[in-house]
Amino acid sequence: MFTITTILSLLFLPLLTVADPTPTSPDSTTVVTEGQNITALWTTDMTGEWTNMTITLMTGWNIGMIPLLDLGKNIDATTTTSFSALAPQVSPHSGIYFLQFTNAANVTAATLWSTRFTIVGADGQSTPPTNSTDFNGGTVEWGTGVLVDATNTTNDNTTVPSTTPSAVPSSSPSPSPFGGLTAYNTDLPISSATGSTTDSPPVPSASSAALAGVRVEAGGVVGMLALALALVV
């Protein structure tokens, strides 16, 4: 009969040898001012598959995540471990925003998330999240934000390679001046956000949403261990 230790060892043996990139920043202590850089950091992808990563600014509850804006596309996470994009104007100013990392090169790859962080205005003021929910034995503070203005953010985003310049891929990551990328959720008329769409945000399946809840708040292997323990028990 397998013990819990044996089961966990079998589940996480692949993580010890080949690992997806793990988001490390922003985190719960991060405060970003509108118009200033949101810097995403992650560990190097060891699978060799994350060569076309998209980073999306998100809001909402763990089970019901809402995309706001694609911050960058065509990011090679096998050679780069950071990406910076200008924070758009949002409402409310609160610790209710997080980043989602998806792999366009492999649609079956796991979706990754950062923890929630705070976006503030020029005055530096923020309000507490409007919601508090018990989740996986802890309390999650969250809320739902929208884009206030998708027209005056002229991002000139660039990746900061973690290796020498010669290792930077020839296909440069896309900057996010809204043009060419997608603004999903704004309180302005949809025509004011270049490249925007009226499509409803995707609703995650129950299984993916449950995993998302663990990884948004716990992150990485710790969150996956919590999920595995829940499944075993």
Polymer length of the chain: 233
DSSP alpha helices (H): ranges in the chain? 4-17, 206-217, 220-232
Of 14-18, 118-122, 174-178, least confident by mean pLDDT is 174-178
Task: Write down the CATH superfamily of domain 20-232.
Answer: Immunoglobulins (2.60.40.10)
* 16-27 pLDDT, tens digit each: 446 899 999 999
The residue extents of the domains of the chain are 20-232
Q: What is the chain's mean pLDDT, rounded? A: 72
DSSP secondary structure letter of residue 201: P
**Model pLDDT for residues 79-107, shown as the tens digit of each residue:** 999 999 999 999 999 999 999 999 998 88
Give the pLDDT mean for 143-170. Answer: 52
Report the distance separating Cα 156 and Cα 174, nearest Å: 9
Name which of 120-124, 134-138, 158-162, 226-230 the model is least confident about.
Answer: 158-162
Q: Angle, nearest 10°, between helix axes 206-217 and 220-232?
A: 130
- Return the structure tokens found at 70: 């694609």
More confident residue, 137 or 148: 148
- The mean-pLDDT minimum among 1-15, 132-146, 199-213 falls in 199-213
Instruction: Dump the DSSP string for 167-222.
Output: GS-SSPPBP-SSTTS-B--BSS-GGGSTT---PPPPPPPHHHHHHHHHHHHT-HHH
Q: Give the global pTM.
A: 0.65
The mean-pLDDT minimum among 16-20, 68-72, 208-212 falls in 208-212
Beta bridge partners, 84, equal 39
